[in-house]
Structure 1
Amino acid sequence: MRLISFLLAASALLATGCRVAAPAEPTASTPLPAAFTPQGTTTDTLHAGAQPWRQFFQDPALTALIDTALHQNLDLQIAMQRVETARAQYLVRRGALLPTVSAAASASGDRFGRYTLNGVGNFDTNLSPNIDGQQRIPGPVTPEFFVGLRSSWEIDIWGKLKQRRRAAYLRVLASEQGRYLVTTNVVAEVARLYYELLTADNQLAVLDRNIAFQQEALKLMRIQKLAGRATELAVQQFAAQVARTESLAHEARQRITEAETGLNQLLGRYPRTITRGQPLPQQVLPERLRAGVPATALLRRPDVRQAELELQASRADVDAARAAFLPALTLTPYLGFNSYRTATLFDPTSLAYGALAGLTGPLLNRAQFKADFRLATAGSYEAYYRYQQSLQTGFREVVNGLQGLENYRAASAARQQEVELLNKAVATSNKLFVAGYATYLEVITAQRSVLEAELSLAESRQAQLQQSVGLYRALGGGWQ
Structure 2
Amino acid sequence: MRLPPAPALALMAALSGCAVAPDTTPVALDVPAAWTSAADTPAAGLAVDTAWWRSFGNPELDALIGEALVANPDLAAARQRIARAAAIARGARADLYPVVDASASASRSWQGRDRASNGFRAGFDASYEADLWGLGRAGVTASEADLAAAGFDRQALGQGLAAEVAATYFQYLSLGDRLDRAQRVLGIAERILTVVEAKATAGAASGLELAQQRGAVASLRASLPDLARSRAETANALAALVGTHPGRLGIAARTLEGITLPEVAPGLPSEILVRRPDIRRAEAQLAAARADVAAARAAMLPAVRLTGSAGYASDALADLFDPAGFLASLAAGIVAPVFDAGRLEAQRDATAARAAELAETYRGAVIAAFRDVESALAAIRYLAEAEAAQQVATAEARRANDLAEIRYRAGAVEFLTVLETQRSLFQQEEALAQTRYARLAAAVGLYKALGGGW
SS of the aligned residue for 2:167 comes to helix
**Aligned equivalents of 1:285, 1:22: Cα separation in 2:** 47
Show the counterpart of 2:393.
418
**Aligned equivalents of 1:41, 1:410: Cα separation in 2:** 12
Deviation (angstroms), 1:40:
9.8
Show the counterpart of 1:383.
358
Q: Decide which moves more: 70-79 or 408-417.
A: 70-79
- Contact 2:42/2:263, CA 8 A, preserved across alignment: no
Show the counterpart of 1:126.
none
> Where do 1:3-402 residues align within 5 Å?
3-7=4-8, 31-37=30-36, 45-46=44-45, 48-50=47-49, 52-53=51-52, 55-107=54-106, 144-272=119-247, 273-277=249-253, 279-287=255-263, 289=265, 293-342=268-317, 344-365=319-340, 367-402=342-377
SS of the aligned residue for 1:326 comes to coil
Instruction: Evaluate the alpha carbon distance shift between residue 208 and residue 66 of structure 1 in structure 2; reply closer, same or farther with a 3 A threshold.
Output: same
Which deviations, in whole Å up to 9, do the C-alpha atoms of 1:45-78 show, x marking residues without a partner? 4364335325433111111111111111111111
Which deviations, in whole Å up to 9, do the C-alpha atoms of 1:187-226 show, x marking residues without a partner? 1011000110011000000111112221222222111111
SS of the aligned residue for 1:321 comes to helix
- Contact 2:293/2:355, CA 8 A, preserved across alignment: yes
Which deviations, in whole Å up to 9, do the C-alpha atoms of 1:403-444 show, x marking residues without a partner? 110100000110000000000000111112112222222111
SS of the aligned residue for 1:282 comes to coil
**Aligned equivalents of 1:34, 1:43: Cα separation in 2:** 17
Instruction: Evaluate the alpha carbon distance shift between residue 78 and residue 363 of structure 1 in structure 2; reply closer, same or farther with a 3 A threshold.
Output: same
Which deviations, in whole Å up to 9, do the C-alpha atoms of 1:111-130 show, x marking residues without a partner? 89xxxxxxxxxxxxxxxxxx
- Contact 2:308/2:329, CA 8 A, preserved across alignment: yes
- Contact 1:59/1:277, CA 8 A, preserved across alignment: no
Which deviations, in whole Å up to 9, do the C-alpha atoms of 1:267-296 show, x marking residues without a partner? 111113432447224321002547x74333
- Contact 2:373/2:446, CA 8 A, preserved across alignment: yes
Instruction: Evaluate the alpha carbon distance shift between residue 399 and residue 320 of structure 1 in structure 2; reply closer, same or farther with a 3 A threshold.
Output: same
**Aligned equivalents of 1:475, 1:24: Cα separation in 2:** 26
Deviation (angstroms), 1:23:
9.0
**Aligned equivalents of 1:339, 1:222: Cα separation in 2:** 117
Show the counterpart of 1:409.
384
- Contact 1:304/1:390, CA 8 A, preserved across alignment: yes
Deviation (angstroms), 1:397:
0.3
Which deviations, in whole Å up to 9, do the C-alpha atoms of 1:384-419 show, x marking residues without a partner? 111101101100000001111010000011000000
**Aligned equivalents of 2:114, 2:324: Cα separation in 1:** 22
- Contact 2:153/2:277, CA 8 A, preserved across alignment: yes
**Aligned equivalents of 1:41, 1:283: Cα separation in 2:** 22
Instruction: Evaluate the alpha carbon distance shift between residue 368 and residue 24 of structure 1 in structure 2; reply closer, same or farther with a 3 A threshold.
Output: farther
Deviation (angstroms), 1:3:
3.0
SS of the aligned residue for 2:126 comes to strand
Identity of aligned residues (%): 33
SS of the aligned residue for 2:4 comes to helix
SS of the aligned residue for 1:333 comes to strand
**Aligned equivalents of 2:142, 2:416: Cα separation in 1:** 73
Deviation (angstroms), 1:21:
12
Instruction: Evaluate the alpha carbon distance shift between residue 197 and residue 244 of structure 1 in structure 2; reply closer, same or farther with a 3 A threshold.
Output: same
Instruction: Evaluate the alpha carbon distance shift between residue 288 and residue 54 of structure 1 in structure 2; reply closer, same or farther with a 3 A threshold.
Output: closer
Instruction: Check if 1:434 corresponds to 2:433.
Output: no
Deviation (angstroms), 1:237:
1.3
Out of 403, 418, 435, the residue aligned to residue 443 of structure 1 is: 418
Deviation (angstroms), 1:342:
4.2
Q: CA RMSD in A?
A: 3.1
Instruction: Evaluate the alpha carbon distance shift between residue 110 and residue 324 of structure 1 in structure 2; reply closer, same or farther with a 3 A threshold.
Output: farther
- Contact 1:62/1:277, CA 8 A, preserved across alignment: no
Instruction: Evaluate the alpha carbon distance shift between residue 242 and residue 39 of structure 1 in structure 2; reply closer, same or farther with a 3 A threshold.
Output: closer
Could you tell me which amino acid in structure 2 is paired with residue 269 of structure 1?
T
TM normalised by structure 2 equals 0.90
Show the counterpart of 1:123.
none
Could you tell me which amino acid in structure 2 is paired with residue 326 of structure 1?
L
Deviation (angstroms), 1:230:
1.3
- Contact 1:76/1:183, CA 8 A, preserved across alignment: yes
**Aligned equivalents of 1:10, 1:72: Cα separation in 2:** 56
- Contact 2:48/2:265, CA 8 A, preserved across alignment: no
Instruction: Evaluate the alpha carbon distance shift between residue 14 and residue 348 of structure 1 in structure 2; reply closer, same or farther with a 3 A threshold.
Output: closer
Instruction: Evaluate the alpha carbon distance shift between residue 355 and residue 142 of structure 1 in structure 2; reply closer, same or farther with a 3 A threshold.
Output: farther
SS of the aligned residue for 1:332 comes to strand
Deviation (angstroms), 1:143:
5.7
**Aligned equivalents of 1:190, 1:43: Cα separation in 2:** 26
Show the counterpart of 1:131.
none
**Aligned equivalents of 1:240, 1:264: Cα separation in 2:** 37
- Contact 1:43/1:294, CA 8 A, preserved across alignment: no
- Contact 2:37/2:374, CA 8 A, preserved across alignment: no
Could you tell me which amino acid in structure 2 is paired with residue 375 of structure 1?
A
Could you tell me which amino acid in structure 1 is paired with residue 261 of structure 2?
L
Larger radius of gyration: 1
Which deviations, in whole Å up to 9, do the C-alpha atoms of 1:118-163 show, x marking residues without a partner? xxxxxxxxxxxxxxxxxxxx99776654222111111111111011
> Which structure 1 residue ranges, 5 or more long, are not aligned?
113-137
